[in-house]
Amino acid sequence: MKIISWNIERPNKNQISKIKFIEDLIAVENPDLLILTETNRCVNFEEQYFELHSETLPTFHENQNYFEGENRVSIYSKFPFKNEVKTYDSFTSICGLVETNFGELIVYGSIIGSFGGKGLHFENDLEKQKNDLENLKGNLCFSGDLNISFSGWKYPSAKVIDETKSFFELQNLEILTENYENNAIHTIMSKDLLNGKKISTKMIEIDRKISDHNMIICEIQK
């Protein structure tokens, strides 16, 4: 199972070359699960994936202007969704249950702090999403732009990093992307699902004209 997580930095329908680059790169990598953040419904994979999207943003929301079709999180899956799971905020996270070749998997797509890793938006998102995760039962893939760097520069703070890592440990979750320095994009998965499997990760560096975040790829093999 191949999982890609990527913040594509707010494309709009007029950025034809940017959209084509995004769509073409994802087609080449061909993930089974794809979690996009800071995205837009103008990014279109036609019938390659089943899809879940956080609520489309109004043109003005939380003191911020948005392009037509923007949404914060989308999940694309080659596995059909058995159902959608309600999250605390329909704008900031999206969650669904899929039947994978490793069994049932809850996929929770997230952006924590739409305006960065500090302030009330970040603190509220982090607390509320932790509550969501605590209430989910079954194997989990939690992925997206967490605005937390688990290695390298201590962003947003050592306290937030330590507390978040401790929370994942208590939930029996493993941060597959922990060792990428200064990286805010992460995939976290249930240890029970990973047990006895081969796990590999890689980062694809992205031109800053496309996005200020790199693409993160995780693969799980029997």
The answer, as to whether pTM is greater than 0.95, is yes
CATH, domain range 2-221: 3.60.10.10
For the residues of the chain, what is the DSSP string, one character each? -EEEEEE-----TT-HHHHHHHHHHHHHH--SEEEEEEEETT---TTSSEEEEPPPPPSEETTEE--TTEEEEEEEESSPEEEEE--S-TTTEEEEEEEETTEEEEEEEEES-TT-SSSHHHHHHHHHHHHHHHH--S-EEEEEE-S--SSSS--S-HHHHHHHHHHHHHTTEEETTTTSTT--EEEEEEHHHHTT-EEEEEEE---TTT-SS-EEEEEEE-
Q: What is the pLDDT of residue 190?
A: 98
- Region 131-149: mean pLDDT is 98
Contact 6, 212 (CB under 8 A): no
Place 7 in a pLDDT band, splitting at 50, 70 and 90: very high
- Region 138-144: mean pLDDT is 98
Per-residue pLDDT reduced to its tens digit, 180-201: 999 999 999 999 999 999 999 9
Domain residue spans of the chain: 2-221
Q: What is the pLDDT of residue 176?
A: 98
| Neighbouring-strand partners of residue 39 | 71
Contact 109, 35 (CB under 8 A): yes
- CA of 100: how far to CAs of 107, 136, 218, 220, in Å? 11, 17, 15, 12
Q: What is the pLDDT of residue 146?
A: 98
Q: What is the pLDDT of residue 202?
A: 98
Q: What is the pLDDT of residue 171?
A: 98
Place 25 in a pLDDT band, splitting at 50, 70 and 90: very high
One-letter amino acid for residue 173 of the chain: L
